[in-house]
Structure 1
């Protein structure tokens, strides 16, 4: 039973890594899968366990993108530090209070994101917005704090929110936004992993094989995104946002 359970989780984790590397949203697959498959464990333990495969996939995606996309290092490094601290805080709060209210809030935001992206045909296809260095710094640091906390506290959709922020606030195209999102997502996942390790809330027997599967999916997904370019990523982004909206809506209806 443990073998088939692990195999099932690995298949979901591979899919999550593939999707997450392209546009984010892997948590839409991986988190519900582990919650459904292992209902006998506490929710914080299961969410903590998913952070190890998420970290491995984020690191692989970040590495693949950094080989082909120019990274704005002087701004992204401080953003990663801020996101790391915020994610740690979010994970701490998760172990103290329920996070059920996050799903309706995230659903409203995602619907707005979907409509906005769908109606703006050039959104994310080109780098067409000039933002001063001072504004880039402030916006990226603020985004790192907010999205970092969200990732540690709830998680699903973090990569998509980061991509959206980099496009709407910084002016990146989809490819460049995905590359920077992977770096920030890696730092938030690392913070959560370290926190849950310190709390002893990880199931390593599932986390390690899932990490290998997620990493493999991320490798393929990132290579495909780089090969196909912005238009492919935009379509994938809309698909993932729509799927996330449907998933959250279903959860709220059934609950």
Structure 2
């Protein structure tokens, strides 16, 4: 799908920017980008593959912004990032045999549960708390599982990373957001490699939307670092509910 009108291209660029802005704070950028690609006439597989291309720019942009301000140590997170990418690559391969309807049926209820958790749990702020799982076990067990899900299906992966970092790793919301973007970048990279290998990527549109998402993620991550939990918490709740509602309507 390359013969797009100027209007459609501009709409896709706007969708890329908004996806980058929202995703850099609360995840869920695919909620904006994938439907936009489908409406533009891309097949579901092309939409998923092209979304991974532009998603790399957004998650990479946000990761750089958070790392520059010291919210994530890239070196210490290298091993979990590799495991996230590996899980996503395996997931993308499984996507060819596992029906997406299985995830589509269960996911809305998981997202609503995540939204309720963040909405009503007291003392949800930027302060770290006691961890429930060692960094080794967290990286070995939790990270690849979420990465695998991101490769198979995708929507909500950022929300799952956020929930895991807050509940199991004991991170405050801003720190959890920063680390989520790094592992989300890695899972995007792993899944992208598989989609590119099978030829399910529209490079021209993916790169144009990627540039827009890079800019959106820069703006969003700076907004999040300035406002912290007071903006991350409500946007995370709204994003989870919106994604759940869309999946239920579909």
> TM-score, with normalisation over the residues of structure 2?
0.93
What is the CA distance between 1:121 and its match in structure 2?
A: 2.3
2:179 corresponds in structure 1 to 180
2:111 corresponds in structure 1 to 110
Give the distance between the partners of 2:48 and 2:74, measured in 1 at CA: 30
What is the CA distance between 1:98 and its match in structure 2?
A: 2.7
Matched, 1:35 2:38: yes
Give the distance between the partners of 2:172 and 2:194, measured in 1 at CA: 33
Matched, 1:192 2:195: no
What is the CA distance between 1:221 and its match in structure 2?
A: 0.3
Give the distance between the partners of 2:38 and 2:92, measured in 1 at CA: 17
1:51 corresponds in structure 2 to 52
1:128 corresponds in structure 2 to 129
What is the CA distance between 1:168 and its match in structure 2?
A: 0.7
2:240 corresponds in structure 1 to 241
What is the CA distance between 1:176 and its match in structure 2?
A: 0.2
- SS for the counterpart of 2:39 is helix
What whole-Å deviation, never above 9, does each CA across 1:169-202 have from its counterpart, x for those lacking one? Answer: 1010111001101110111111122112211111
What whole-Å deviation, never above 9, does each CA across 1:47-67 have from its counterpart, x for those lacking one? Answer: 001111100011100000011
Matches within 5 A, 1:61-76: 61-73=62-74, 76=77
Matched, 1:213 2:228: no
Match of 1:6 among 9, 25, 36: 9
- SS for the counterpart of 2:137 is helix
Q: Which runs of 4+ in 1 moved over 4 A?
A: 72-75
Give the distance between the partners of 1:159 and 1:124, measured in 2 at CA: 18
What is the CA distance between 1:73 and its match in structure 2?
A: 4.9
- SS for the counterpart of 1:146 is helix
Larger mean CA deviation between 151-160 and 52-61 belongs to: 151-160
Give the distance between the partners of 2:56 and 2:228, measured in 1 at CA: 24
Give the CA RMSD over aligned residues.
1.6
| Residues 108 and 131 of structure 1, relative CA distance in 2, 3 Å threshold | closer
> TM-score, with normalisation over the residues of structure 1?
0.91
What whole-Å deviation, never above 9, does each CA across 1:177-232 have from its counterpart, x for those lacking one? Answer: 01101110111111122112211111112111111111110010001001111221
2:23 corresponds in structure 1 to 20
Unmatched segments (≥5 aa) in structure 1: none
Unmatched segments (≥5 aa) in structure 2: none
Judge conservation of contact 2:60–2:182 (CA < 8 Å) in 1: yes
